[in-house]
A and B are shown apart, each in its own frame.
With several copies, the nearest count.
Chain A
C-alpha cells in the first residue's frame, strides 16, 4: 500500500497531467516563497494558454516572469504588476489578459475556493473599477461587493519543510499566499526545501494539513532577493 506517502521523485511526476489552457494557482509574494523548480519545469513542458493566479508575476527573468517571456500565460489574476516591465508591457498592449484583484480579496478568493465557499462579500473595491459589474449589497448600512472564489486545476506551493504525508510548514514571510494556494488546487503540488518523516513536525505548528496536498517534491532554490535593503550595524 502507498498509504499517505505523497513524495514524487521527478518534476515530470510532480506536474503530470498539467496541460494547455489549465488554471494554476501559485503561492509566493514577489520572489519570496515561490516554487522555483516547478515554475522552471512548467517552462520546460511548454504548456501554453495558462491562466495563472498569483499575487505577482515574478520579475522579468525569474519566477513566473519566465512564463511571460515564453508567452505561456494567457491570463493573469494578480494584485500587483509593480516593476515587472514585461508584465506591464503585455498588459498595456492587450496581449495578456489581466484581472487585477486587490491583494486581500485575492487571498480570500483562494481560501474560499479551497473551503467550499463559492462567494463572499467585501467592502474592498466598492466604488472602484474592481467593483464594476459586481453585485453590490448593503449590510448594516455599508455597501459591499460580491466576489467569487477561485480554484485551479493545479496549485503550486513552496514549503520550507514538508513531511511525506504532505503536512507543510513555511519559513518566515515565505508563508504568504502558499497556504491558501495549497487548499485551492484540484491537484496540489508542494516543492519543499526539506522533506521530513511524519512526526517530525509538531502537529500544532503545521501550516498546511496534508489533506490538501497531492504530491511533494524535494526542490532546490536560488532564493533570489528582489530588494535587498540593509542597515549598518551601528543603527
Chain B
C-alpha cells in the first residue's frame, strides 16, 4: 500500500547519520524531523538563518522574531546559532550542509529537478531551493510517485522549468526508494505491499530493477 506522508517522512529519517547537518524543505521533509532515530543526533539548518532548529513553540514560547524558512514559528535547541541569510547560504552553497530533503513536481533520470513553477499557472518562486540543490552533499527528493491524475513524476526528462541539474541522488516516494545514477532510476526498496510491477508502471523514466527488491523497513 502506498505510504502516508508520515511514513515517507519516517523512511526519509532513516537516511540520516549521526552528526549530520540537515536542511528540510516545506511539507513532508519537515515531518522527517519527528522521526530521527533515537540513537543518532542531527542538527537542523533553516536557510533564513538558524542552525539548530527546535520544535514548534508552546503558546508561551511564541515569538514573532523566531521563524523557520517556511515562515512558521519555531524554537532553537541548546547550542544553536543564528546568523544572516548571506552566511546561511554560504553554508549551503559551500557544501557544509550534509543532507537536503525537498519536495518536487518532477525529477528525471539525469538527476534534474523541477519544483518552483508551472508556467502560466503557478509561480511560487524558488526561495532557497536552487541554492540547496546546488550546494548540499546529498539531496533527497520526497514526493508522491504519481500526480493526482496518475501521471508519473519520475521522467526521462523534466518538462517544467528546472530547479537544478544533475543534482538529485535519491528519491523517496509513497511507493519506493530509488537511486539516480548513470541516466536511470534504480529501484532500491518497495513500500510494504507494493509490487515491482506497480512501480514500473508508475515510473515513466528509465527504471532499472536488479534482483529481489526488498520492502522498506521502519525500524524506529
Contacts and interface: CB of A to CB of B under 8 A. Distances in A.
A92 B71 contact: no
B5 to A, nearest CB: 16
Interface string B162-200: 111110000000000000000000000000000000000
Contacts of A209: 51, 81, 83, 87, 91
A55 to B, nearest CB: 7
B97 interface: yes
Interface stretch (B52-60, B99-107, B145-153, B205-213): B52-60
A178 B71 CA distance: 16
A108 to B, nearest CB: 6
A120 to B, nearest CB: 11
A56 B178 CA distance: 34
Interface string B53-71: 0011111001111111011
A52 B66 CA distance: 25
A173 to B, nearest CB: 5
Contacts of B161: 128-129
B39 to A, nearest CB: 6
Given A2-B19, A115-B93, A127-B165, A180 B86 contact: yes
A133 interface: no
A3 interface: yes
A122 B56 CA distance: 33
Count class of interface residues, chain B: 35 or more
Given A110-B86, A128-B162, A229-B56, A199 B134 contact: no
Interface in A196-235: 198-199, 201, 203-204, 206-207, 209-212, 223-233, 235
A2 B20 CA distance: 11
Contact of B90 (A111, A129, A160, A228): A111
21 contacts: A29-B48, A33-B65, A82-B124, A100-B123, A110-B86, A114-B90, A114-B96, A116-B90, A117-B93, A123-B134, A124-B93, A164-B79, A165-B43, A174-B64, A175-B82, A180-B85, A203-B52, A209-B51, A224-B64, A229-B56, A230-B73
Given A3-B18, A116-B92, 5 more contacts: A4-B43, A82-B127, A124-B131, A128-B162, A224-B64
Interface of A: 1-4, 29-33, 55, 78-82, 88, 91-92, 100, 102-105, 107-108, 110-111, 113-117, 122-130, 160, 163-165, 167, 170-180, 183, 198-199, 201, 203-204, 206-207, 209-212, 223-233, 235
Interface of B: 18-19, 21, 39-41, 43, 45-52, 55-59, 62-68, 70-74, 76, 78-97, 112, 120, 123-131, 134-135, 161-166
